């Protein structure tokens, strides 16, 4: 934890130092304005830490207010830095093109100050748009045909939610949007692929009833994500069970005699003594070939040697990048992008963009989703 905090302070602090340096240089700020801006940025660097400390101390109102300010600022700063770096690359190229064409280079377009203000305007517009996009829960439909689905069943509907991150910022209104989308889909089976809660689970207990009211005749299954361990495992598990989910922690269940569901803990639990973390490979052994094998796993990673040993894996974790262009870093860390993809041996993986948001309550070109997966017997 100390190493993570040091890394966070170094990276986030350096980003603020870069933004402060540019603002002072390009806006010619005086000593008083520079000091005030530096003090604000220092507070914003510490804001996530102060939010967590305030929440644990029971100062919920203060924690929520600081979270809204601090995390919206985080989104703005990230988008500003991305826009500023992009414009820094584009400006000399545009100036060179203008000279080659014999045109004058307008400083109001290519000047450093104009570039700074344009980057700030683009970041503000992106943050505002992303704030509303984060609340526009979409329903994504996927159809999978398999001869393992009995013709007597015809269609079996799985609805997946993931990465809701219920906590200080994602609360009742977002939970209601998600619940309405789930209810409208009329699932046979509802699954949650981790990170249902974030922060102190005891402070979102009133939201569990909204999930518990959702009906799924074949059941409601869930696995842990990394944030269940960060928030406090026992409290997180209690909330998930109160919401009506059966947790699969290195376990499997058979539904209807033809659907086998395997669920594994997130690797975050293997760092301590909180969870009996187990890779999925041993759980996949001995599965009946005639059964459709569904694997629930928070992170979009296919375990070594397991491709071809399951039919469908449902994952989340990466939020589709959440804030463009952060999806580039996500794709570098995780090979599998959002959506459905084949991974070999007849196995497929669906990676959800997530139903809530983490950190900044903002999503840019990565809208939240509730996923509807229809398992269908092949047409005759």
Tens digit of each residue's pLDDT (9 = 90 or more) over 158-195 = 999 999 999 999 998 999 999 999 999 999 999 999 99
- The CATH classification of domain 139-376, taken from the options 3.55.50.30, 3.60.21.10, 3.40.50.300, 2.60.120.380: 3.60.21.10
Tell me how far apart the alpha carbons of residues 109 and 59 are, in angstroms, rounded to a whole number.
47
Query: Is it the case that residue 106 has pLDDT exceeding 70?
Result: no
Backbone angles phi, psi at 271, to 5 degrees: -80, -15
- Tens of pLDDT, residues 316-351: 999 999 999 999 999 889 989 999 999 999 999 999
DSSP string, 175-188: HHHHHHHHHHH--S
What's the pLDDT at 110? 63
Percent of the chain exceeding pLDDT 90 equals 71
Query: Is it the case that residue 42 has pLDDT exceeding 70?
Result: yes
Query: Is it the case that residue 104 has pLDDT exceeding 70?
Result: no
What's the pLDDT at 79? 97
Q: For 68-104, give the secondary structure using H, E and C.
A: HHHHHHHHHHHHHHHHHHHHHHHHHHHHHHHHHCCCC
Quick one: average pLDDT of 105-128?
A: 84
Q: Select the more confidently predicted residue: 269 or 21.
A: 21
Q: How confident is the model at residue 276 (pLDDT cuts 50, 70, 90)?
A: low
Listed range (130-144, 250-264, 276-290) with the worst mean pLDDT: 276-290
Q: Are strands 155-161 and 138-145 parallel, antiparallel or unpaired?
A: unpaired
Strand arrangement of the beta sheet that strand 292-296 belongs to? 251-255, 259-263, 292-296, 312-315, 347-351, 339-344
**pTM: predicted TM-score of the whole model, two decimal places:** 0.92
Average pLDDT over the chain reads 91
- Tens of pLDDT, residues 220-235: 999 999 999 988 889 9
E strand spans, the chain: 138-145, 155-161, 189-192, 219-222, 246-247, 251-255, 259-263, 292-296, 312-315, 339-344, 347-351, 369-376
Tell me how far apart the alpha carbons of residues 163 and 319 are, in angstroms, rounded to a whole number.
7
Tell me how far apart the alpha carbons of residues 142 and 160 are, in angstroms, rounded to a whole number.
11
Where are the chain's structural domains? Answer: 2-133, 139-376
């Amino acid at each position: 934890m100390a190493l993570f905090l040091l890394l966070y302070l170094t990276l986030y602090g350096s980003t603020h130092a870069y933004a402060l340096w540019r603002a002072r240089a390009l806006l010619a700020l005086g000593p008083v304005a520079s000091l005030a801006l530096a003090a604000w940025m220092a507070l914003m660097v510490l804001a996530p830490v102060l939010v967590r400390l305030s929440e644990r101390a029971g100062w919920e109102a203060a924690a929520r207010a600081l979270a809204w300010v601090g995390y919206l600022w985080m989104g703005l700063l990230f988008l500003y830095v991305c826009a500023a770096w992009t414009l820094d690359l584009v400006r000399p190229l545009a100036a060179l093109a203008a000279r080659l064409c014999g045109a004058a280079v307008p400083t109001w377009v290519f000047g450093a100050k104009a570039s700074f203000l344009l980057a700030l305007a683009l970041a503000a517009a992106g943050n505002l748009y992303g704030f509303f996009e984060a609340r526009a829960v979409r329903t994504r439909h996927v159809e999978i045909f398999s001869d393992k689905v009995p013709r007597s069943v015809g269609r079996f509907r799985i609805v997946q939610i993931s990465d809701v991150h219920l906590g200080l910022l994602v609360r009742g209104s977002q939970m209601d949007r998600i619940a309405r989308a789930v209810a409208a889909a009329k699932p046979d089976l509802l699954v949650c692929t981790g990170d249902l809660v974030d922060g102190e689970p005891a402070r979102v207990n009133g939201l569990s009833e909204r999930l518990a009211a959702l009906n799924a005749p074949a059941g409601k299954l869930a696995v842990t994500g990394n944030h269940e361990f960060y928030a406090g495992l026992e409290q997180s598990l209690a909330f998930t069970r109160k919401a009506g989910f059966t947790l699969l922690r290195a376990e499997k269940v058979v539904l209807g005699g033809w659907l086998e569901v395997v669920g594994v803990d997130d690797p975050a639990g293997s760092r301590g003594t909180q969870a009996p973390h187990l890779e999925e490979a041993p759980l996949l052994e001995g599965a009946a070939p005639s059964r459709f094998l569904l694997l629930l796993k928070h992170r979009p990673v296919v375990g070594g040697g397991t491709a071809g040993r399951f039919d469908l894996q449902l994952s989340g974790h990466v939020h589709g990048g959440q804030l463009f262009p952060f999806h580039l870093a996500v794709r570098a860390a995780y090979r599998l992008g959002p959506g459905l993809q084949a991974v070999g041996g007849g196995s497929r993986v669906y990676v959800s963009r997530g139903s809530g948001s983490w950190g900044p309550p903002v999503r840019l070109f990565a809208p939240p989703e509730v996923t509807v997966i229809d398992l269908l017997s092949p047409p005759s």
